[in-house]
Amino acid sequence: MNFKKPKYEQRFWAYTFLAFPLLLLTVFVFFPIGFAFVVSFYDWNLLIPDKPFVGLSNYIELFQDEVFVKAIKNTIVYTIGVVPTQTFLSLFLAFIMNQKLRGRAFFRTAFYIPAITSSVVTSIIFVWIYSKPGLLNYLLNGAGVESHIDWLTNPSTVLPAIMMLNVWTTSGYFMVSFLAGLQNIPASLYEAAKIDGASQWKQFWKITVPMVRPVTYFVVVMSLIGCFQVFDQIFVMSSGGPDNASTTMSYFVYQNSFKYFRFGFGAASAVVLALLIFTVTAVQKKYFPPDAY
């Protein structure tokens, strides 16, 4: 028997329970999605009451803006540098962790700590590490590599330095995702491979990599979305400098929207970034689906 209350009563309680969450999500998620596009067609400045409709001119201005073009370039370099590195590193670490080694729980905790720590904290620590008399140069010189540069004020090193921080921060988190995936691979596969005399290296490429494909898909998507929107580290470590060498698209959105209060222009740049993210994740889904095997 399945007893149920009358329909009207269920309906009443359902809408009552959902009223507050839906109201908030409408005001702060659903409405803003559409409104972002609307604002991007206006010359909308917080400090100027007059807000004329300007059509596509914000978008046209964006692509003529050298800084924006540089921001796109930086964002792509950042993503291409970080996503494969941290995906491979976290899979590799998970593979090692999945061997029956002593102290596994300890290592897992240690690798995860950067991921749960405030981005501001890790950024500040790395400002010290990357400074001229900081830890990185100290270690390099100790290892016999002469190095006296200030990593964050040098246009050619600032972006790679922040990329390294990003890999360091999130690889532990993704490693735990991979570890969960690895533990679902039947041990019999490895046993069969061992009987056939396959080396560890071969087992890694022929069994582990294909079997964790759904997790890889998840990790790459999360990592892509995170990299495309990288902000905290840029804000704290370099403020986009020197000479916009580390201005990413999200930092560009922030700068124009909330430093110069050019909401229309800022919204347009955010729309371009969102479309870029959509395109890349759609391409990934089409050509590298999670369940191709």
Partner 1 sequence: MKAIKIQKILFLGILSLMTLIYIGPFLFSISISFNADKNVFDWPIELIPSDMTLDNYKNVWKDLPFGKWLFNSVFITTVQTISNVFFAALAGFTFARLEFPGRKIIFTLLLSSLMIPGIILLVPKFIVLNELSMINSYGGLILPGLVGVTNIFLMKQFFETIPKDLEQAALIDGCSYFRMFWQIFIPISKPALAAVAIYTFQGSWNEFLWPVIVSYTEDMYTLPLGMASLRHELLTDWPLLMAGTIMISLPTLAIFIIFQRYFVQGVSSSGLKG
Q: Which is nearer to partner 1, 138 or 205 (CB)?
A: 138
Minimum CB distance to partner 1, residue 80 (Å): 18
Tokens of 256: 């124009």
Which two three-digit tokens encode residue 236? 């704290």
Q: How far is the CB of 228 from partner 1 (least distance, A)?
A: 7
Q: In the complex with partner 1, which residue's Cβ is closer, 51 or 206?
A: 51
CB of 158 to partner 1, least distance (A): 15
What residue has token string 């270690």? 139
For residues 43 and 262, give the distance between their C-alpha atoms in angstroms, rounded to a whole number: 8
For residues 249 and 29, the answer to whether their CB atoms sit within 8 Å is no
Least distance (Å) from partner 1 to the CB of residue 77? 18
**Of 227 and 245, which has the nearer Cβ to partner 1?**
227
Distance of closest approach, residue 61 Cβ to partner 1, in angstroms: 16
Please list, in sequence order, all residues whose beta carbon lies within 8 angstroms of the beta carbon of residue 271, skipping any fewer than 6 positions away: 36, 37, 40
Decide whether 66 or 102 has the Cβ nearer to partner 1: 102
Radius of gyration (C-alpha) of the chain in whole angstroms = 24
Beta bridge pairs of residue 45: 262
Angular region, 125: left φ>0, alpha ψ -120 to 50, beta rest? alpha
The CB-of-206 to partner 1 minimum distance in angstroms stands at 18
CA distance 258 to 239: 14
CA gap 122, 146 in Å, rounded: 26
Comparing CB distances to partner 1, the nearer of 18 and 56 is 18
SS3 279: helix
C-alpha–C-alpha distance, residues 212 and 222, integer Å: 15
Q: Which is nearer to partner 1, 36 or 189 (CB)?
A: 36
